[in-house]
Structure 1
C-alpha cells in the first residue's frame, strides 16, 4: 500500500540524495514551502514529486521520481493523483509539466494521466534538446 504525504524536515537527507540536481538549500526551501510529496511503502520512501507554480499561479510538476525497484507499480500515479487533488483543493484549474522532447516514456505517462502537449522551448546551453510542455485542465 502506497502512502503519500507532504515531505517533512526528516525527509530532507533522502531527498537531497535522490533529487541530486537540486542541492540541499533548494530541497530545504521546497520542503519548507510544501513543494514535495513523498510516497512510502512499508514506512520507507520510494518516490517523490516536486512542484512549483509557473508564473506564481499554475501548479507545475517539476520532477517525479520513483526508485527503480518500485517503478510501474502505481507509485507514480499515486503521487500524481495526490498532487492533482491537493492542487484542485487549492482552487487550481490547470496543471502543467514538461519533458525533454526525446523522452517518449515520460511523455506517454503524461498523456495517460490526462495531459496534452501544448508547445516546446529550446534553452541552448541549459539542455541538449528542447523541452515539451504539457497541460491538464482540472477545474
Structure 2
C-alpha cells in the first residue's frame, strides 16, 4: 500500500478532534506546533495518526497510535513507527517507549512484532483498575 507520512498541520485539526475525543483542542494546537503529531495518508486521505508525548520532557513515548479500521493490517502503523524512529534518531534519541492496557492482547502482540520489549507494568492506573504494560524499543 502506498502511504505518505507527514507531520500534522492546522488543516488536520478538525479531523484529529473528531477521532481523538480524549484530547483538549488547545493541546492539539500545542502538539501540532511542536511537530508531535504524525499523519498517515493513503490517496490523500487520512488513514491514521500517531501522537508523540515526552515523559519528563525528554523521553519519547507514543501517547496514541490510531489507524482507521478499513486500513488496519496494511502497514500504516508500521509506516508511522518507522517515520517516527527516523525523526527521533536524527534528534539523537536512542529509545522509544509505548504502552498498552494489560487486557489488550492484540496491541501487545503488535508492539512485540515491531521490536518493542516489555519493560514493566503499572497496576491499576486505568479506569476500573486495569493496568498498563510498558514497552521500549532501541532506535
Q: Which category of TM-score, normalised to the shorter sequence, fits these structures?
A: over 0.9
Instruction: Give the match's secondary structure for 1:114.
Output: coil
Aligned-pair Cα RMSD in Å:
1.1
1: distance between equivalents of 2:101 and 2:92?
28
2: distance between equivalents of 1:3 and 1:131?
31
2: distance between equivalents of 1:108 and 1:114?
10
Count of equivalent residues: 137
Correspondence 1:32-71 to 2 at 5 A:
32-71=33-72
TM-score, length basis structure 1: 0.94
Instruction: Note the C-alpha offset of 1:122.
Output: 2.7
Instruction: Give the match's secondary structure for 1:86.
Output: helix
Structure 2 residues without counterparts, runs of 5 or longer? none
Misfit runs of 4+, over 3 Å: none
TM-score, length basis structure 2: 0.94
Instruction: Note the C-alpha offset of 1:28.
Output: 1.4
CA deviation profile, 1:70-120 (whole Å, cap 9, x unmatched)? 000001110111011111111111110010000010000100011110111
